[in-house]
Each structure stands twice: as C-alpha cells, then as structure tokens.
Amino acid sequence: MDLQPVLQLDMTTANQLEFVFDDINEYYAGITNYAATILKVSSTVSWDLYAVGRSSGSTAAGFWDQQIDYGSDNTNAKDQLPLSLLELRQSQPNSGDAAATGATFSDYSSAFSANSQASAANSLFTNSDGSITPPTAVDKYIAGHAGTTGSGDFMPGGSYMNQSGSTSDYYYAMDYRILPGLPAIFPNAASADGADTTDSVDGANTADSADTADSDDSADSADSAASANSADSTTRTIDYSSISYCTHHHTQRNIKYLQSLGR
C-alpha cells in the first residue's frame, strides 16, 4: 500500500472579472463582485491558503498592466495603479491564524469599509518585486498562516465535502471590490502589511492607515497633484492584473497548486 499526500484546490470563477467605471456613482461607491470566486480544499495533509496579486510588470513591478491607452494629450495622467487597489473579502474568518505575529489584518474577513473611510483591511497582498513569494507573519492569509512550527500556523487535513454546518474551513466564497473614490486615488490600496497606504498611485507610501488623521490621503497636500491626475488615468486606460491562489503542503512548504484568476 502506498498512501501519497494529496492537496487539492478547486476554484470556480469567471475567466475574467470586469470593473467598468462609466458612472460617477461607481467612482464614489466602488464596484463589488459578490462570491465571484469559490475556493474548495480537500487535503490529507496540513495546508495554508493565500492570495497574491500579480502582473507582468510592464508598467512597473507591483502595478497593473496597462492594456489600452485611449490618448496621450494629458501628459500629467498616471499609468501606475497599485495591484493592492483590489480588495478581497472571504466568506468566513481564518481559524488558523494564531501565528499571525504582529499582523494588523491576518485575513480578508473584514467587511468592506464605507467609501468615506480609508482602510487597508481588505487590500490584496502583493510583493514589491511582483513575485508569488508567500506572505509573512505580518501579512494576510485566507487560511492558515506563515511558519512551519505546527502551532497555530496551519489548517489540518480535511475536505469541504465533510461540511456539516453552514460554514467550513475548507470552503470560501470570495468577493472583490475596487473603490476609485473622488478624486480617483484608490484610498484603500495599501502596502502588504497594511501599514502604509499607496493610494497616490505614484508608488509612494504616504500615510499610516492606523493614523486616523492621515487615513484619507485626498486631503494630504503632498498627494494633491497625483490625486487629481489619477482620475485621467483611470478613465483613459484599460488595465489588467491577476490573482494567484496558492496552497502549501504545510510540512514541506512546497507550492502544490497554483491557479491564476484572469488569464
């Protein structure tokens, strides 16, 4: 008898999710796609699950790829939109996040914030170099967390098929939101650990998301030029990025399955 370890992630989603902002209310309130991705896990071993924002880096590492430019008459328009402007919300909290040492937000279970309140709680995890390197102990995981100690940093083997209640640690419905804001500075885009906002879309970390005085960067004079110009960029371009959902065989930390959303 040969019992091999099995780690299976099933993902149900559209080939491509579109966010078309052609109404002023959509800029102000954002666009949300509810339960747009369903993630189902079955595993004989302990495991982790996390999401990483990716692009080809054609604009710059950590930014959306610009697919179409509708014109070039505005020389002040910004073509760099941070990948973290995409927000995620998972259908239930991460019950394996005890190892989230120092994490401001250990998962994506927070409700989407009001459009008037900037928050890094749901901003997509990204690496500054554009790689799919796993999040650290201060970053967000969907299930399990960083580390290999076997204490509070993993999800045990099991399957969504054994679900007996209304929720399961092996089944997640993922919502997506993009909130440009007015002006279109994408106030909820943030660094990986949620410590700094990057909503000026120039790649600069301009404010501490925990600092209520600076949480709304549209009022920050240092960002005023970029804030005003970003609206031209978003209405004049079509941009693209993808999400990689990765599961780990926890004991060996090898990536067993990788599936991208978008391509």
* pTM for this entry: 0.77
Q: Tell me which range, 45-49, 100-104, 201-205, 255-259, is most confidently predicted by mean pLDDT.
A: 45-49
| Arithmetic mean of pLDDT, 17-22 | 90
In this model, does residue 250 exceed pLDDT 60? no
Distance of CA 91 to the CA centre of its chain: 14
Least confident of 78-87, 106-115, 148-157, 197-206: 197-206
User: What is the predicted pLDDT for the residue at 209?
Assistant: 32
User: What span, in angstroms and rounded, lies between the C-alpha atoms of 198 and 230?
Assistant: 13
User: What is the predicted pLDDT for the residue at 186?
Assistant: 94
| Arithmetic mean of pLDDT, 103-127 | 93
Beta carbons of 152 and 99 less than 8 angstroms apart: yes
Q: Supply the DSSP symbol for 114.
A: P
Give the β-pairing of 242-249 and 86-90: unpaired
In this model, does residue 234 exceed pLDDT 70? no
| Arithmetic mean of pLDDT, 215-240 | 36
User: What span, in angstroms and rounded, lies between the C-alpha atoms of 138 and 100?
Assistant: 6
Q: Which two tokens stand for residue 257?
A: 């399955």
Q: Name the band, by pLDDT with cuts 50, 70 and 90, for residue 197.
A: low
User: What is the predicted pLDDT for the residue at 153?
Assistant: 80
Q: Name the band, by pLDDT with cuts 50, 70 and 90, for residue 193.
A: low
Average of per-residue pLDDT values in the chain: 76
User: What is the predicted pLDDT for the residue at 206?
Assistant: 36
User: What span, in angstroms and rounded, lies between the C-alpha atoms of 199 and 185?
Assistant: 5
Least confident of 63-77, 155-169, 210-224: 210-224
User: What is the predicted pLDDT for the residue at 202?
Assistant: 44
Beta carbons of 144 and 250 less than 8 angstroms apart: yes
| Arithmetic mean of pLDDT, 217-221 | 30
Q: Tell me which range, 71-80, 179-188, 205-214, is most confidently predicted by mean pLDDT.
A: 179-188
Query: What share of the chain in percent tops pLDDT 90?
Result: 42
In this model, does residue 252 exceed pLDDT 70? no
User: What is the predicted pLDDT for the residue at 213?
Assistant: 31
User: What is the predicted pLDDT for the residue at 75?
Assistant: 66
Beta carbons of 172 and 91 less than 8 angstroms apart: yes
User: What is the predicted pLDDT for the residue at 263?
Assistant: 31
User: What is the predicted pLDDT for the residue at 86?
Assistant: 95
User: What span, in angstroms and rounded, lies between the C-alpha atoms of 67 and 240?
Assistant: 7
